[in-house]
Amino acid sequence: MVENYSEADIRTLDWREHVRLRPGMYIGKLGDGTATDDGIYVLVKEVVDNSIDEFAMGAGSEIVVSVEERVVSVRDHGRGIPLGKLVDVSSKMNTGAKYDSEAFKKSVGLNGVGIKAVNALSESFTIQSFRDGETKSARYARGILEEEQGVQPTGQPNGTLVTFMADKELFGNYHYIMEYLESMFKNYVFLNTGLTILFNGQKLLSKRGLHDLLTENMNGEGLYPIIHLKGHDIEMAMTHGRQYSEEYYSFVNGQHTTQGGTHLVAFREAIGKTVRDFYKRDLDFADIRHSIIAAISIKVQEPLFESQTKTKLGSKDIAPGGPSVRNFIMDFVTRELDNYLHRNPDTAELLLRKIIEAEKERKAMAGVQKAARERAKQSSLHNRKLRDCRVHYGDNHELKRASSIFITEGDSASGSITKSRDVNTQAVFSLRGKPLNSYGLDKKVVYENEEFNLLQAALNIEDGLEGLRYNNVIVATDADVDGMHIRLLLLTFFLQFFPDLVRAGHVYMLQTPLFRVRNKKETRYCYSDAEREKAIKKLGPRPEITRFKGLGEISPDEFKHFIGKDIRLEPVRVTRQDSINAILGYYMGKNTMERQEFIIENLYIEKDEV
């Protein structure tokens, strides 16, 4: 039946209503702060981006950022917003100076949208401009102007101060993870030598740009010294490591394009072609790029991104009427990388040796991989391991970004999740028993071990993250000793062979309740002893208390509450200071006595358990 509609059904939303009704169009997903791409981090980025643009124009070399609880404050020392336009800039959509390419030739934000989105999505938002001895401020609540202070004299240096608190009505019980913010700010200083960011009192700056970025993100030294090349509007750095996958960091106008785009495609192609031509050998591009760690940064006039969150470049040209992105990058890499290799024969020799080793490994693995793929294909046909979902990870669409796969063990646990899940966005992969401890093994085990082979095929990560089918890879195990052991074994597998999956923030642990406390009127699920005690007090004397021993004991009707909109996920994070090899060696190696001593020294026994 087709419903009728009339003029009364058509309405026009003002800018504030539209942002709050469709926040995904402006900041991607909402989220609670557990993922690096959650909206609360996009809000911070939108504010800081404006300060970065000021620095790029030669105004202000220091940005001060403070994040305390949920209050974010950003103070730059740029030119300051013209005082008469302060309210327009912060509350009128598509208002800004960046439409004039002479004022902001190669800035991050061009649409005059970002700061307005922050305003509308914040329960409190204050913006203050300092300009030539005068200052003016405006205070908002959820995009509604509450107070506009007139122009006053000031002794403060020029610049802008923005303070906001994201709206709990939209973001829920969110929190900032400081490591995520620190990583974001470090990228800013790597891309803007001479810039200092003071983050909660910590001084961040870089003298060697992308060279420092690679050094920061590598586990151990590269196989040869980092190749660092700079040109007009372009900078690159590269080396090869000991990991199995390719690892890239790409940027446009200082924006971290986590999903790559036209510039990254061109960069990968240019490296392969240049190296092949230098050695005058028919080398396979996959062998050339095997274990590469590289970064590319370019400046583009009026960049075209595939979404407001600016994570993927869509521009074909460097500037209107200018060369294509591909040709610009190809010309630079072909010329400069070739020159570097000619001037540094020791590095060229080490690089060739690495490529030949990769070629030998690839050929030795060819038969194993072919057989493994066939087994994975047959298993998929029979649907023995994977209960797939309908939508997969692939672009900025909110539904696809919500796609998840639960990795669980045992028929009862996977059965409960399978019956409770959202079939559109949630898949289930069922393990049979404990996975193999893969520490110290070579990648052949990924193909020879059925569990690993099928898991790799389900995730589609054999050739890197570009084909990843799920945004969230969730390990769902019992909260007992065996469950913790399975977690460790799966994390060992990911960190050993696919560390970029963890680094990119895709891996989580599912938190499920330990207790159910209920009376005839109310049921509460508790994730800790403290929550249980609080629930007992709330529900009154002698409520029924159930201790869940495993996932299989939770009925599907109850389970849907724990993997729905209120799902609790604990992100798996590896800090840049952590060496993956050292971590795996300590926790999964053969140093049994060392680990035993650590456990004994750090064992904490509750008094009431003695």
pTM score: 0.76
Residue 466 lies in a domain: yes
Q: For position 62, which CATH number holds?
A: 3.30.565.10
Name the domain boundary from 493, 526, 547.
Answer: 547
Strands of the sheet containing 247-252, edge to edge, are: 227-231, 234-240, 292-298, 247-252, 255-256
CA distance 209 to 194: 9
The CA distance from 389 to 387, in Å, is: 7
Residues 308 and 398 reside in one and the same domain: no
**267 in any annotated domain:** yes
φ/ψ bin of 57: left (φ > 0), alpha (ψ from -120 to 50), beta (otherwise): alpha
Task: Looking at the structure, tell me whether residues 351 and 258 fall in a common domain.
Answer: yes
Give the total residue count for the chain.
610
- Residues 98 and 139 reside in one and the same domain: yes
CB 71 within 8 A of CB 43: no
Per-10-residue mean pLDDT of the chain, 610 residues long, equals: 62 76 83 86 92 87 94 95 90 60 51 80 95 94 92 94 95 91 93 94 94 86 93 94 84 85 93 96 92 92 73 82 90 96 96 93 78 66 73 67 88 84 92 84 83 88 84 88 88 87 88 89 89 90 86 83 86 68 68 68 50
Helix, strand or coil, per DSSP, at residue 281 = coil
* CA separation for the pair 55, 201 (Å, rounded): 20
Please enumerate in sequence order all residues whose Cβ is within 8 A of that of 144, keeping only pairs 6 or more positions apart, or say none. 16
Cα 202 to chain centroid distance, Å, stands at: 22
pLDDT for position 288: 94
- On whether both 171 and 278 belong to a single domain, the answer is no
- Asked if 184 contacts 258 with a C-beta cutoff of 8 angstroms, the reply is no
Q: Are 199 and 215 within one domain?
A: no
* Contacts (Cβ under 8 Å, ≥6 apart) of 276: 282, 283, 285, 288
Phi, psi values for residue 417, rounded to 5°: -65, -40
Residues 249 and 391 in one domain: no
Q: 528, 547, 566: which is the final residue of a domain?
A: 547
Q: Quote the pLDDT of residue 602.
A: 67
How much of the chain is helix, strand and coil, in % rounded to 5? Answer: 40, 20, 40
Number of folded domains in the chain?
4
Residues 226 and 245 in one domain: yes
Give helix then strand counts, H and E, for the chain. Answer: 22, 22
DSSP 353: H
In a domain, 590, yes or no: no
Q: Are 548 and 512 in contact (CB under 8 A)?
A: yes
Residue linked to tokens 């993927």 = 312
pLDDT at position 397 is 56
Do both 309 and 422 map to the same domain? Answer: no
**Cβ distance 565 to 544 under 8 Å?**
no
Q: Can you give the pLDDT at residue 111? A: 43
303 and 337 assigned to the same domain: yes
Residue 209: per-residue pLDDT? 94
553 in Cβ contact with 415 (< 8 Å): no
Asked, for residue 603, whether it belongs to a domain, the answer is no
Bridge-partner residues for 166, per DSSP? 122
| Consecutive H or E run containing 342 | helix 325-343
What confidence score (pLDDT) does residue 607 get? 39
Residue 593 lies in a domain: no
Contact present, 318 and 325 (Cβ < 8 Å):
yes
> What's the gap between Cα 7 and its chain centre?
43
Of 161, 188, 204, the last residue of a domain is 204
Q: Is residue 189 part of a domain?
A: yes
The answer to the question of residue 375 being in a domain is no
What CATH number does the domain containing 326 carry? 3.30.230.10
Which residue range is the domain that position 344 belongs to? 210-362
pLDDT at 101: 46
Residue 492 and residue 479 in one domain = yes
Query: Are residues 147 and 189 both part of a single domain?
Result: yes
Pairwise CA distance, residues 249 & 183, whole Å: 12
Q: How far apart are CA 500 and CA 363, in angstroms?
A: 24
305 with 443, same domain: the answer is no
